[in-house]
Amino acid sequence: MSAPAAPAPAPAARRLVPLVVGRAPTALPSAGTVALRGRVVILSATVGQGHEGAARELARRLRARGQQVEVHDYLDALPAYARHVLKDLYAPTVQYAPVAFDLLFHGLEHHGPLRRVTDWVCRQAEATVERWSRDADVVVTTYPLAGQTLGALRERGRLTVPAVTYLTDPAAHATWCHPAVDHHLTVTRATADDAARYGVRARATGPLAAPARRRVRAAVRASVRAELGLPHDAPVALISSGSLGMGSVRRTVADLIAHPTLRVVVLCGRNDRLRRRLARLPRVVALGWRDDVPALMGACDVLVHNAGGLSLTEALAVGLPAITYLPIPGHGRANAEVLDRAGVAPWPHDAAALAAAVDRVVAGGPAVGTLWPAGADPAAVVHGILATALTPSIRR
């Protein structure tokens, strides 16, 4: 294993520029108790599990409310070369060309060639998205570029029903925010506050994570620990590196097991090579793809993540404390900054600070706070938007 790199410097303040200038966002309706049936189209993207997981959970909740739901992969609306760049080159660029990815991420915050190219790519999807949205009553996206396409269609009157963007990242970004999109929904209040920098009003509506008990029963916790060969009384950190096992995971593991008593469970996703390498280390349990992440979280004491994706959302939903460490470039570092500033998840910058943060959050117990309003549910908000959209036809 290579020697640890020098600690990352504190993040510089971001220069934030709205992507486009458009009409002011409309007020958000409440969910109410209206009994109705409508058609909701959800646009996601097969780029990691964060966008897809949120879309699946929103669809499940809306169908439980009696709505007709269609979920589409936004990448299918793009030309083949654009799909290749967005899907196949994302992970290699993050992993092997982090400086280039960081430059791309921050370059998209400003008007210039990168933004013009991105706007052009988003325009290529308009005809297909317009066709998918035909006869829809509400269109929702969990992927930023799809929000740009929806906003452009709304601006030109080619989409006449409400458009909703649900931000799956803790940090807002120019590509997430379009003033012509009717509603911007976020997981936490911290993200809603961050979105205001882009000239849009966002509302914290809670997580779109699969249903799970907020507190895992002691018997289940003991059972999961026994399955993984973990002592019942040792502190355990769960490392999440996304579905692709990206980032400086090996260095994160090395820095965590430098803690004298900590055990480490690593979610390697579909990265079998990473799983095999980490499985050889002492006090480390390396796992492949798992469908029981909430139960695993219930058996652990802290989540250590590097991106702020679906695993973080699931941790927030079940009250598991989280720490950001060695975040991936671009959106990973932007997410780390927002989470740290809001007190949602600390961002230590070296091994010693990481150990101190682990001891602090483990001693503090499960995370309890007001990250979103009590009882908040994104599906309830979309249901309310749908009720408002259908009101004219109900009156007729």
Query: For the chain, how many helices (H) and strands (E)?
Result: 16, 11
Share of the chain above pLDDT 70, in %: 87
CB 183 within 8 A of CB 26: yes
pLDDT tens-digit series, residues 75-89: 999 999 999 888 887
Supply 42's token pair: 């959800």
pLDDT above 50 for 26: no
For the domain spanning 39-206+373-395, the CATH number is 3.40.50.2000
pLDDT tens-digit series, residues 149-177: 999 999 999 999 999 999 999 999 999 99
Residue 72 φ/ψ, nearest 5 degrees: -125, 150
Where is pLDDT greater, at 49 or 113?
A: 113
185 pLDDT band, cuts 50/70/90, is very high
Which residues contact residue 4 at a Cβ distance below 8 angstroms, ignoring those fewer than 6 apart?
A: 251, 254, 255, 351
Domain boundaries, the chain: 39-206+373-395, 218-364
Residue type, 18: P
Q: Measure the CA–CA gap between 355 and 323, rounded to whole angstroms.
A: 11
pLDDT at 289: 84
pLDDT at 257: 94
Burial of 13 (0-12, 13-18, 19+ CB in 10 A): exposed
Lowest mean pLDDT among 2-11, 73-82, 278-287, 363-372: 2-11
pLDDT at 212: 57
pLDDT above 70 for 22: no
218-364 and 39-206+373-395 share a CATH fold: yes
pLDDT tens-digit series, residues 340-363: 999 999 999 999 999 999 999 998
Share of the chain above pLDDT 90, in %: 60
**Rounded to two decimals, what is the model's pTM?**
0.86
DSSP-based three-state secondary structure for 68: strand
pLDDT tens-digit series, residues 223-242: 899 999 999 889 999 998 87
Q: Does 3.40.50.2000 match the CATH number of domain 218-364?
A: yes
Residue 137 φ/ψ, nearest 5 degrees: -100, -25
Burial of 18 (0-12, 13-18, 19+ CB in 10 A): middle
pLDDT at 183: 97
CB 306 within 8 A of CB 287: no
